[in-house]
A and B are shown apart, each in its own frame.
Chain A
Amino acid sequence: MTTCETITPLLDEFIDGTLSLDQQAEVQRHLAGCPDCCSEVVALRDLLGLARVLPRSVPPERNLWDGIAPRLSPVRSRVRGPLQLRALRIAAALGLLLTGAGLASLWYYRISPHDFATQARRYDAASTTLAEALARDAGTLPPATRAVVERNLAIVDAAIREAENALRTDPGNAALEQMLVVRYEQRLALLRRAGATGRES
């Protein structure tokens, strides 16, 4: 025999439809004989009914755009086409040949540890410059070293892709952004080491 004390904690999930079938049946059986719990259910449904008719959109009382527009820094075209992406991938694969120390320094004088957008742009700039440098300095790493660097780059790139994908579904998540920045740093450090090795060999 169920009591109101055992049923009451289930009523929220009952009206949300998230109880198991067994629990749902148990609540329904109790409701059939309990006017007090029935009233609870009706009151909860009324509340959710009110919530459903709240306007989805509420215009702000003042113009907010004036406080936004001055903060929109100009950006170059940010969407990469397939050719650009392919060029960057090739650049990454050839990253072993890179004179990377200078590029990594682009990363290390970043403005603020909390400004993900700035850091992402710096990383992006480093990658673009890298692609240009690669075309000039190809072929300076020993094959065995190159294979090791390629494998490590693939691991870091996979981690970067994973974090970027997660950020696409959860934009602005600070923990993910922090994780991604660490991966960017790892990748640039790897390129820098590879570049230094290439110059020494």
Chain B
Amino acid sequence: MNETVRRAQQGDPTAFRVVYETHVGRVYALCLRLCGDRMEAEEHTQDVFVRAWQRLDGFRGESAFSTWLHRLAVNQVLQAQRAAGRRAARVSMADPAELAERAPTPTPAAPSDLEGAIAALPEGARTVFVLHDLEGYQHDEIAELSGIAEGTSKAQLHRARQLLREALNR
């Protein structure tokens, strides 16, 4: 196991700062692409590192630290999205107008056309595309992480790819 990670595990905040500096770009990129919104991604990134600090004793070096951290980030964003979905469902029963106001407004995250097109995808399609095509997760893993059927994951990937191609051809 990396010595810096080991020291952070023992409660050394200076070492954890180094861990943060090493991994923040990768974690932020993942959060940004999963949620499609810069400010939300910043909040998620902060939450991921706080959770990582709290759960570091659960990391035993059986996988790469980055793999462990990225999984934590994926769980963080997907759980927040599920919670937001539940809130939106409650709002929709009470006040459809309020739901419309709260609907996310995708903000293109990077200059590349593809980044902007990914950010503009519907949430379900974006999640599957990012996890499958950018992060290398398999459909069965995505299904488990997202709480959807494997077939739904495949359908969302197909939809995401179609929408991205259309967006890039405009």
Contact = CB atoms under 8 A, between A and B. Distances in A.
Nearest to A65: B20
A50 B116 CA distance: 13
B32 A58 contact: yes
B28 A12 contact: no
A47 B53 CA distance: 37
B120 interface: no
Contacts of A56: 26, 29
A172 B46 contact: no
User: Taking chain A's interface residues, is the majority helix, strand, or loop, or is none over half, making it mixed?
Assistant: loop
B104 interface: no
A74 B28 CA distance: 25
B75 A170 contact: yes
Contact of A67 (B46, B55, B71, B114): B46
B52 to A, nearest CB: 8
A83 interface: no
Contacts of B56: 78
A72 interface: yes
Interface in B149-170: 154, 157-158, 161, 164-165, 168
Given A43-B165, A117-B55, A168-B58, A51 B133 contact: yes
A182 interface: no
B56 to A, nearest CB: 7
A21 interface: no
Contacts of A54: 112, 114-115, 134
B45 A79 contact: no
Interface residues of B, number: 53
A44 interface: yes
Interface string A25-49: 0000000000000000001100110
A76 B10 CA distance: 7
- Kindly state the interface size class of chain A when it binds its partner: 35 or more
B132 to A, nearest CB: 8
B24 interface: yes
Contacts of B28: 58-60, 64
Nearest to A77: B10
Contacts of A61: 38
B13 A64 contact: no
B46 A59 contact: no
A174 interface: yes
A79 to B, nearest CB: 5
Nearest to B139: A18
Nearest to B130: A51
A79 B6 CA distance: 9
8 contacts: A58-B110, A60-B42, A61-B38, A72-B16, A79-B57, A170-B71, A171-B51, A171-B58
Interface of B: 6, 9-11, 13, 16-17, 20, 24-26, 28-29, 32, 38, 41-42, 45-46, 49-60, 62-63, 68, 71-72, 75-76, 79, 109-110, 112, 114-115, 133-134, 154, 157-158, 161, 164-165, 168
The 7 nearest A-B residue pairs measured at CB: A57-B25, A117-B54, A172-B75, A78-B57, A58-B29, A75-B11, A171-B72
Given A68-B50, A69-B17, 13 more contacts: A47-B164, A50-B114, A57-B26, A59-B24, A64-B49, A75-B11, A78-B10, A167-B58, A168-B59, A168-B68, A170-B75, A171-B55, A171-B68
